[in-house]
Amino acid sequence: MARLLTLILIVANVLYFTWSHWAGSDKAQLTSVPMSARAPKPKAPPAPPPPPPCASLGPFATDALAENAQRALEGGGWGVLRRSSTTQVNDGYWVHIDNLASPLDQARVVNRILRAGIQDAFAMPDDAQHRVSVGIFKDEDRAEDRAARVQRLKLDAVVSERLKDQPAYWLDVPGVAAQTLADGRLVTLGVVTAGLQIEACP
């Protein structure tokens, strides 16, 4: 009887071992994914292409001068766009005395200058710095001479450049580099380039 019971236990253990081994083979197992099977990283977008070249010729003082040059360039086979802008140009030189304390000081300074024989001095009205004007000149050397004469009166005269807005006209040539316009062919087309600049389009 004991031998039979022992035999039954052995058979039961063998059956259990076989079943547990068979059932465990169905469990999911973690496996590593090879690098080649992973999703590739997204590529960086390509850099945008450089803008096409564009040369600009100017500034022309008048629209008529720009139009004449435009016709010459178009006659040479180039497409041209005309545009206008504003530039600041010299409008002479101003000699003045700054930063006086009060209108009374302005009056005293004006009288002192007038007594020295400089007749175009006057107080700037409603000026926060109480400035005194001592002349406006087209020529810088004459302005400097006037400032030196006023400084001999122990007054601090300065020279400032006067600027004014002036219309200017430009010709833009798309698809053409600035170096191409600067290679001398403008002269062959009859374009007067004196005083003009050749640069990249804005």
For the chain, residues classed under CATH 3.30.70.1070 are 90-162
DSSP codes, 64-120: HHHHHHHHHHHHTT---EEEEEEEEEEEEEEEEE---SSHHHHHHHHHHHHHTT-TT
pLDDT at residue 45 is higher than 80: yes
The per-residue pLDDT for 35 is 55
pLDDT at residue 8 is higher than 80: no
Position 73, amino acid: L
pLDDT at residue 150 is higher than 90: yes
The per-residue pLDDT for 199 is 92
d(CA 160, CA 137): 10
Instruction: Average the pLDDT over each of 106-115, 130-139, 190-199 and give the range with the smallest value.
Output: 190-199
Instruction: Give the tokens for residue 61.
Output: 């003082």
Domain 54-89+166-200 = CATH 3.30.450? no
pLDDT at residue 143 is higher than 70: yes
The per-residue pLDDT for 9 is 57
| pTM greater than 0.85 (yes/no) | no
CATH number of the domain at 90-162, please? Answer: 3.30.70.1070
Residue 56 near residue 199, CB atoms below 8 Å: yes
Q: Model confidence over 49-65: pLDDT tens digits?
A: 888 899 999 999 899 99
Query: Average pLDDT in the 89-111 region?
Result: 94
The per-residue pLDDT for 152 is 95
Mean per-residue pLDDT of the chain: 85
The per-residue pLDDT for 122 is 95
pLDDT above 70 covers a percentage of the chain that reads: 80
The per-residue pLDDT for 39 is 65
Helix (H) or strand (E) holding 6: helix 2-24
CA torsion through residues 104, 109, 112, 113, sign? negative
Banded pLDDT at 14 (limits 50, 70, 90): low
d(CA 2, CA 9): 11
How far is residue 195 from each of residues 54, 89, 94, 116, 202, measured CA to CA in Å?
Answer: 20, 13, 26, 42, 19
Q: Which residue has tokens 């389009």?
A: 201
Position 135, amino acid: G
